[in-house]
Amino acid sequence: MKAPIIIIAGPTASGKTSFAIKLAQELSGEIINADSLQIYAENPILSAQPTASERKNIPHHLFGYIKGDEEYNVARWINDAAGQIKYINKTPIIVGGTGFYLKHLMFGLSAIPDIAPEVHRQATALLDKVGSKEFHKLLAEVDYSIAAEIEMNNTKRALRAYEVIKSTGKSIKFWQEENIKYFPVSSFKLVILQPDREILYQNCNKRFLDMLELGALEEVKYLLKQHYNPIMGIMKSHGIPELSKYLSGQWSLQQAIEKSQQVVRNYAKRQITWFRHQFNHPELEKCLVTNPEKQFSVVLEFCKTL
């Protein structure tokens, strides 16, 4: 039987990295990153990338290979991931919590043409100048239907919709009707880690403390010195806004820690909700794992063949 493309998904701090490594050892697999923050080279601590010792015996791909000032999007990740899946010639194990990436890898991505660089620069400059509220109004003037679907503070989606219609003359909705797929849905097996919520929240709290021990503050200092635009993907790393306030003297370290932990817990909660509703497809086999240690043998059998 042909080996499936395995996806290990789940909220942050749910144990995806260790679970995937253990699975890769059993299946002679290789790991491909599906976390939108772990693609960057300059935030290995803040994004909780696998350590050198964790990567030692299992090949890892698409981790830390992008600079913080590079433009990056879901289409580029899908193209990169598909290339790795075809290249490695072993069991591909895709690991990450960026559900948007995983959803479109499995179900397809709209065929939006490349955005003209000048349009992107102008749109980004406009957003910086007028702010999210006024920018949302400007989007509504050129594409009311999509603006009605985008929350006012979701600047990433608003910017994307604005630059698409400005660059192509057509709404992003038009392009979303065209669907590009690299693999059939039936070639995937989806494993979702969802431990008990209290345990997950404890893991979130501990993970942030571990990041501080590893040097998260120094990483934040470095990133701030690069003067990256706040809307760049790397600047969405958990802890940057809170630790920045500590470094500037606005907050105590304890305040920054507690707020960061709260932000991470809230993010994990949103991820749980998202994974619950976004991966429904009649051809997709799923396995929900509430106790990764006790259920590993079940998952192993689930992942062996299509």
Q: What is the pLDDT of residues 84-118, one digit of tens each?
A: 999 998 999 999 999 999 999 999 987 777 888 89
Residues making up the chain, counted from first to last: 306
Provide mean pLDDT across the span 144-165: 91
Q: Are strands 285-289 and 5-9 parallel, antiparallel or unpaired?
A: unpaired
Q: What is the largest CA-CA distance in the chain?
A: 60
Nearest-angstrom CA–CA distance, 269 and 38? 20
Determine the pLDDT at residue 112: 78
Q: Which domains does the chain have, with CATH numbers?
A: 5-110+180-304 (3.40.50.300), 117-177 (1.10.20.140)
For the chain, give the percent of residues with pLDDT over 70.
Answer: 100
First CA to last CA across the chain, in angstroms? 7
The whole-number average pLDDT for the span 39-60 is 96
* Sequence-distant (≥ 6) Cβ neighbours of residue 75 within 8 angstroms: 109, 112
Q: What's the pLDDT band for 32 if we cut at 50, 70, 90? A: very high
CA distance 34 to 57: 20
Structure tokens at 286: 């799923």
Contacts with 306 (C-beta within 8 Å, 6 or more apart), sequence order: 1, 2, 3, 4, 186, 187, 189
Calculated CA dihedral for residues 140, 146, 149, 152, nearest 10 degrees: -40
Give the pLDDT band of residue 173 (cuts 50, 70, 90): confident
* pLDDT one-digit tens code per residue, 243-296: 999 999 999 999 999 999 999 999 999 999 999 888 989 999 999 999 998 999
* pLDDT for the residue numbered 165: 94
For the chain, what is the mean pLDDT? 93
- Percent of the chain residues topping a pLDDT of 90: 82
Dig out the tokens for 258 from the structure.
């507690």
pLDDT band at 1 (very low <50, low <70, confident <90, very high): very low
Residues 6+ apart with CB under 8 A from 213: none
